[in-house]
Structure 1
Amino acid sequence: MERRYNFNAGPSALPQDVLNHAQAELLNYQQQGMSIMEFSHRSKEYQKIHDGANELLRELLQIPDDYEVLFLQGGASLQFSMIPMNFLQTGQQGNYFLTGSWSQKALKEAQKLGDTYVGGSSEQDDFKRIPELDTLQYSNKDAYVHLTSNNTIHGTQWKEFPKHNHSPIIADMSSDILSRSLPIDQFGLIYAGAQKNLGPAGVTVVILKKDMLKNIPNQLPTMLDYRTHVDKKSLYNTPPSFAIYMLSLVLEWTKTKGGIKEIEKMNAEKTKLLYDTIDSSKGFYSGTAETASRSSMNVTFNLPGKELEELFLHEAAEEGFVGLKGHRSVGGCRASIYNAVPLESVRALSDFMQTFHHKHNI
C-alpha cells in the first residue's frame, strides 16, 4: 500500500527512514533475539539507548551543561500541573501568556494550585496573533512566566521570545521543538510531548535548568517531584522505553539531515510554499493567523463557505491526504507540516489546492 500524505496535528508523521529502521529491528534488536520492547529498562542494551538519546538531544539543541534532560510520562498535560506544584510557592504568582487552548489549559491547572494572573493575551483577537513583546506584563511576585511557543489549533508561533531576567521563563514547546534553533539559556524549563517532532506519543522531554531545583518544596508526591527524576536519571520507574528508542532514532535522523540548521531551512521552504499557495489564491483560501504570527508547523486556513470546505476535505481524502480538517473547536482546515513531513508531500498538497481552486472558483 502506498503511504498517504500525512498532515495530522499529532500524533503526526514519522520519518520513513525511522519507521523502516524500527521495523527491521522490531523482533530482533541488534541480533539479541528480542524486541527492544522486551528488554529490561535496567539492561545495558536499553541504558545505551537511554543515554544516547539524552546526549544526542543535548548535541542537536546545544543544551548547556547546567541543564538537566528528563524523559517523563503523562504528556505535556501532566506538566501543566507539575510546574506549579514544583515552582509556585505561597506569596508568588504564576504569570501566563495566553495564545490559545493549550496555554489556557496550563493556566487552568495552575489556578488549582496557587495564585496566577495573565500577563499577556491575544484572546480578544480570537488568538489570531502572538502578543507584542512590549505589551507583556510582569510582576516582582512572578514565580515564573509561562508561554506556549507554537499553537497548533490557531496556527500561530512565537518568532521571538521574551527576555526577562527577574523570573524564569517556562515554555511548552510540544509542537515546534527541534524545528528551529533555540536560545536554550533564555529558559528555566522547556517541556515537549514527543508526538509532533520528536517521536511517537508516550514520552515527554523536559529540559530543566539545575538552579530551578532549589525552589522545589519537600512535601510533593515522589513521582511529581522533578528531583526524583533528576536523581534517578529518568529511571525511577519503568520509562516508556519503546517511545524513547523511537525518539533516539528520530534524533539520529535529524542529525543525518544536517541538524537543526538544515531542518530549519527545509521547514522554511515547506512553509513558504504553502503560505504562497494560500496568499496567491486571491481570497479563495484565507489564512486564519495574522501574517507576522504565522506558524511554520501548523498552517490554518479557511475556504469561502462550509459546503466548499467539506468538499475540499472530501476530495483531499480521496487523493490520499490525511489530517487536513481543522481542530473541532475552530473548524476550517489545517496542514501540520512538522519535520518529518517531506517537501514532496507539501508540493502535492499545494498542487491539489491549486487544482481545487481552479475547479471550484466562483
Structure 2
Amino acid sequence: MHKKHNFGAGPCILPPSVMEQAARAVINWRGMGLSILEVSHRSPEFEDVVLKTQLLVRELLAVPDHYSILFLQGGASTQFAMVAMNFLDTGKKAAYLDTGYFAQKAIKEARLFGEVDVFASSGDKDYTYIPVDFNYDKQVAYLHCTSNNTIEGTEMFDFPKGGAPLICDMSSDIFSREINITDFDLIYAGAQKNMGPAGMTLVIAKNEFINQAKKEIPSMMDYQIFRDNMSMYNTPPVFSIYVAMLNLLWLKDQGGVSGIEQKNIAKAKLLYAEIDRNPLFHGTADVEHRSRMNVTFLAVNKEVEAGFLKFAADQGIVGIKGYRTVGGFRASLYNALPLSSVEILVDAMATFEKEYSGKIALELE
C-alpha cells in the first residue's frame, strides 16, 4: 500500500525506519523469543532502554545534570493537574498565560488546587497571536505557558525570564527546535507529537524545584517518587518508551535538534509562502507568531474548503482538516514529515487554484 502524506496533528508521523524496527520488536525483541510488548519492565534489557532513552533526551536537548528526566503516563492532560497538585501551595497563586484551547484546559485543572492568575490572554483576537507585553506577580508559585498551540497555529519563540519558576507545556514542539533548558524549571510533553507513540509523557525538571513540591499527595501524582524510582514506580509504558528511543536515535542521525530545526523551518516557510500567494487560502495566525509545527489556514468559502479536502485526499494527503471547533485546515509538520510531502501539498494547492479559477471563468462566460 502506498504510504499517505500524513499531516495529522497527533499521533505523529514516525520515520519508516523506526516503524520497521518497532514492528520487528513486536514479534521478537533482541532475539529473546519475546515481544517488546510482553518483556518484563524489571528486566535488565528494558532497564537499559529506559537509561538509553534518558541519555538521548539529555544529549539532544543539552539537559544539565541537575535536571531529572522522567517518563510518566496520562499525557499532558494529567500534567495539567499534576503540576498544580505538586507546586500550587495554599496562600500562593499560580500565573498562567492563556494562548488557546490547551492552555485553558491547564488553567481549569489548576483552579481545582488553588488560585490562578491569568496574567495575559490572546482570547481577544481568537488566539491568533502570543501576548508579549505583560506583567505578572514575581512572587507566584510558578508561571505556566504553552509553547505551541496545535489548534490555533501559534508558537512561542521567546519565553519570560527571571522571576517565578517557569513551567511549560511543550507537547507539540519538543525536539523540533533548540531551547535553553535552564530557562525552565519544569517542561512536560506528551510523546505523541515529535517523540513517539501515545502513552508516554516526558517531564524534564530541575531537581531543586522538584524538592520543593508538596509532600502529601498521591504517589502516582508525585514527581519525587517517579524521580527516585527511575520512572518505574509502577509498570511504565514499555512500548512507547522503546519506540521513543528508536525515534530519538533517528533524530540524532538527522543532525540532532539543530539539524531538524533547519528542516522544519524550510518546510514551514514553503507552506506559508503558498498560503500567502494563493488567493483561495489565507493564514489564521499573526505572521510573527506562526507555528512551524501546526500550520492553520482557511479557505475563502465553504465550497473551496470542501473541494480542496476531497482534492487533497485524492492525492494521498491526509490529516489536513482543521480542528472540529475551528474548521478550515491544519497541516502538522512534525519532525518525521519529509519536505517532499510538503511539496506535494503545495503543488496540490496551486493545481486546485488553477482548476477552480478555470471553473469560475467557465461559469461566468
**TM-score, normalization: structure 1?**
0.97
Letter in 1 for 2:168: A
Q: In structure 2, the residue corresponding to 1:30 is in which secondary structure?
A: coil
Q: Is the 8 Å Cα contact of residues 85 and 217 (structure 2) preserved in structure 1?
A: yes
Once the two structures are superposed, residues 101-154 of structure 1 have per-residue CA deviations (whole angstroms, 9 ceiling, x without a partner) of 00000000011110011111110010000111xx22211431100000000001
**Stretch deviating more after TM superposition (25-34 or 194-203):** 25-34
Answer whether contact 1:91 1:141 (CA < 8 A) is retained.
no
Give me the whole-angstrom Cα distance separating, in 2, the residues matched to 1:236 and 1:190. Answer: 20
Query: Which residues in structure 2 correspond to 1:1-362 (within 5 Å)?
Result: 1-132=1-132, 135-163=133-161, 165-281=162-278, 283-361=279-357
- Which structure 1 segments of 5+ residues have no match? none
> 1:344 aligns to what SS in structure 2?
helix
| Cα pair 1:145 1:170 within 8 Å, conserved | yes
Partner Cα separation in structure 1 for residue 336 and residue 138 of structure 2: 42
Deviates more, 1:220-229 or 1:311-320: 311-320
Identity percentage of aligned residues: 49
Read off the aligned partner of 2:223 and give its amino acid letter.
Answer: Y
Which ranges of 4 or more aligned residues in structure 1 deviate by more than 6 Å? Answer: none
One-letter amino acid matched to 2:293: M
Give RMSD over aligned pairs.
0.9
Specify the SS of the correspondent of 2:24.
helix
Deviation digits for residues 223-280 of structure 1, max 9, x if unmatched?
1111110110100000000000000000000001110111001101101110011111
SS of the residue aligned with 1:356?
helix
Secondary structure at 1:191 match in 2: strand
CA distance in structure 2 between the partners assigned to 1:250 and 1:121 by the alignment: 35
Structure 2 unpaired stretches of 5+: 361-365
Q: 1:24: Cα distance to partner? A: 2.6
Q: Is the 8 A contact 1:61 1:178 kept in 2?
A: yes
Partners of 2:26 and 2:214 lie apart in 1 by 42
Whether the aligned pair in 1 keeps the contact of 2:285 and 2:296 (CA below 8 Å) is yes
Contact kept? 1:170, 1:190, Cα under 8 Å: yes
Deviation at 1:306, TM superposition (A): 1.1
Aligned partners of 2:280 and 2:304 also within 8 Å = no
How many aligned positions are there?
358
Tell me by how many angstroms 1:26 deviates: 2.2
1:144 maps to amino acid:
Y
**Any conservation in 2 of the 1:174–1:196 contact (CA below 8 Å)?**
yes
CA distance in 2: counterparts of 1:184 and 1:357, whole angstroms: 44
